[in-house]
């Protein structure tokens, strides 16, 4: 059966997350339903990461197995036709080897988090950012974020329902920058690692927001990390500002 890699973009608001669920809409189910319109049968796709409810995808990667040989462009066009009106789009499609796996072949996941600083309610960016009404010190947040880079026991920043075998992870990058966003000043978080724990990025962002507000210091972040205790974590921020921004592979199936 020919295997295809799919690069997927989606707005997470209408979904209970990526993963197929019995009684709630999911991104996975939307794509599998579209695939069944092309080849009527049960389809099961695998993805590089299972994003939570409300989290968006800029470049999620999944793979599917088809019975016939499809031209990649025609497959993506057909899927996009059957995905309407769901806010899901196949932005690229490529044939891959039979043993290529969207999750297990990946060597990096990249997340973007957008935090909007503005008192007036967000309109165009509603549901796409976490909005705070008070100013934040992005430089202090970035400096504190570097305390988290490297290989650590991230128990403090791990959800109590996380199913990972170990809290030990290597965080390759956590950059915090201030930029002029579409709706006002934004603080953006560029987070990169081979893999993440459940709610790890949102726990980082919520904790670092406390640093930007002056309630925590960088030493407080270090103390929270070293506590290896979920109770030591700062507030977990809401999901709507989080995006799965990219997935890295040894041989990129989407080189263009």
Q: Which residues are catalytic?
A: 52
Task: Return the structure tokens found at 105.
Answer: 């072949």
Distances (CA, A) of 234 to 40, 108, 160, 229: 48, 26, 14, 11
What's the rounded Cα separation, in Å, for the pair 161 and 203?
14
DSSP 234: -
What's the rounded Cα separation, in Å, for the pair 241 and 201?
11
Residue carrying structure tokens 């006002």: 184
**Per-position b or e across 82-120, b if 16+ CB within 10 A of its CB:** ebeebbbbbebbbbbeeebbbbebbeebbbbbbbbbbee
Q: Are 71 and 3 in contact (CB under 8 A)?
A: no
């Amino acid at each position: 059966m020919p295997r295809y890699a799919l690069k997927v973009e989606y707005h997470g608001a209408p979904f209970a997350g990526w993963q197929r669920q019995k009684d709630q809409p999911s991104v996975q189910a939307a794509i599998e339903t579209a695939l069944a319109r092309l080849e009527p049968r049960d389809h099961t796709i695998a993805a590089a990461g299972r994003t939570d409810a409300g989290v968006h995808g800029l470049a999620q990667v999944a793979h599917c197995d088809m019975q016939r040989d499809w031209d990649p462009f025609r497959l993506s066009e057909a899927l996009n036709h059957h995905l309407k009106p769901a806010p899901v789009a196949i932005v690229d499609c490529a044939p891959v080897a039979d043993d290529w796996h969207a999750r297990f072949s990946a060597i990096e996941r990249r997340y973007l988090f957008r935090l909007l600083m503005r008192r007036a309610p967000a309109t165009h960016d509603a549901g796409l950012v976490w909005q705070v009404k008070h100013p934040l010190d992005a430089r202090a947040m970035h400096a504190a974020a570097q305390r988290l880079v490297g290989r650590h026991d991230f128990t403090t920043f791990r959800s109590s329902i996380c199913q990972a075998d170990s809290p030990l992870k290597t965080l390759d990058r956590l950059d915090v920058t201030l930029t002029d966003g579409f709706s006002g000043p934004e603080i953006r978080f560029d987070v990169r690692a081979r893999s993440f724990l459940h709610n790890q990025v949102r726990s980082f962002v919520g904790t670092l927001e406390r640093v930007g507000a002056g309630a925590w210091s960088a030493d407080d972040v270090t103390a929270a990390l070293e506590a290896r205790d979920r109770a030591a974590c700062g507030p977990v921020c809401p999901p709507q500002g989080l995006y799965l921004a990219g997935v890295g592979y040894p041989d990129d199936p989407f080189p263009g």
